[in-house]
Amino acid sequence: MINSVSIKNYKSVVDVSLPLGRFNLLIGANGCGKSNILEGIAMGAAASSNKLDYEYFANRGIRVVEPRLMTPAFTEKQDETILVSIRLDENIVANYPIVYNKNAKPARWECGVKFDEALSKSDSAQELFQELENRLGSKVTIALDPSSNRWTAVTGNDSLDKFLIYSLEENKLRKADDSNRTYPLGRHGEGLFAYIKELSQQPEGIEIINEIKENLKVLDWFDDMEVPSGQLSMEFNLKLKDSYLADTINAFDQRSTNEGFLYLLFYLTLVISDETPRFFAIENIDTAFNPKLCREVTRRLIELARKHNKQIVATTHNAAVLDGMNLFEDDVRLLVVRRNIDGYTKTNRVTLKDDMTMPLSEAWVKGFIGGLPDNF
């Protein structure tokens, strides 16, 4: 897992550090900078894979504006370097300084990647190189810069470079085709049914589908789901069974189901599959869910993230989501996002005292943990 992320000079985020766990929830007033924080992480992900282009930004969830507005505009003179630092473990921090090079032809975003290495017990460069690769969990190309005594990295780790901000849209989610640029699941919900069809044709995929179906039973009406046989190559449909319907009505497809089912199906597939990113964000994780379902979906996603080695950063405006979190578990983090008197985005982690008995949802609504507007 990624231990923490620091973001400097990105939109409203002047200097923010996020201590990350397995499941991390950002709450705060509208416009406080929650999405800017997610985008800041995505900028680091883009830099880690050397893909600082506008098409990559858009596909990963970064709202593209003119370059001068990608950095804070609180003063006339501003730092034009965005710095995203990813702490991979106690000893390694990957720093991604990102600048817009107006003099390049064409003008473009560029990054110089550095690994700050608290040199460990390895006696040789070869051993240290291997140790670094082992910690990152993937193959990297690095070289030691003699002038700075830092490692310069060409490629980063596979937890970060696939980071994507999911922001589901019902019309994209419901669409049954494979017009998806980001395999296997697009950030707005594209590709869901094509991917489930693909899973149904693989022995290991059947296990994934069965686990998804087991968790879909949190919906009291859900009885079963299957991919019809005999579909053409460009057909992507599901047969869904409702336990309340008469036996004479065999099944219906995804066009007839409610949006809450589609959102839940997407999130379960995202967390359970081995082919989806290990580190990702979900905006407005509460969308389309009843308050009680919000609580249960949150609880289940935390359990599944642990089981399938996923790391999630989510945002919400629904207090019920908080009740699915146990903040006494260290890998579950609640982070309040706010703007200070100067307009800078700031965060703080919420921790609980042992004698806390009030539900987190109530504590938030009553203003005990912050994250609410204070101008009315």
pLDDT in tens, 284-336: 999 999 999 999 999 999 999 999 999 999 999 999 999 999 999 999 999 99
What is the C-alpha to C-alpha distance for residues 192 and 236, in angstroms, rounded to an integer? 9
Residue with tokens 């810069």: 145
Sheet with 23-27, side-by-side order of all strands: 165-166, 279-282, 311-315, 23-27, 332-339, 345-350
- Alpha-carbon torsion, ordered 148, 152, 157, 163, to 10 deg: 90
pLDDT digits (tens, 9 = 90+) for 146-158: 555 555 544 445 5
Ranges of the chain whose pLDDT falls below 70 = 90-91, 113-158
What is the C-alpha to C-alpha distance for residues 65 and 107, in angstroms, rounded to an integer? 15
pLDDT digits (tens, 9 = 90+) for 175-204: 877 777 789 999 999 999 999 999 999 999
Quick check: bond before 97 cis, omega within 30? no
Helix and strand element counts for the chain (H, E): 9, 16
Residue with tokens 């260290």: 330
Query: What contacts 201, CB < 8 A, 6 or more positions away?
Result: none
- The whole-number pLDDT of residue 120 equals 42
What is the C-alpha to C-alpha distance for residues 271 and 84, in angstroms, rounded to an integer? 25
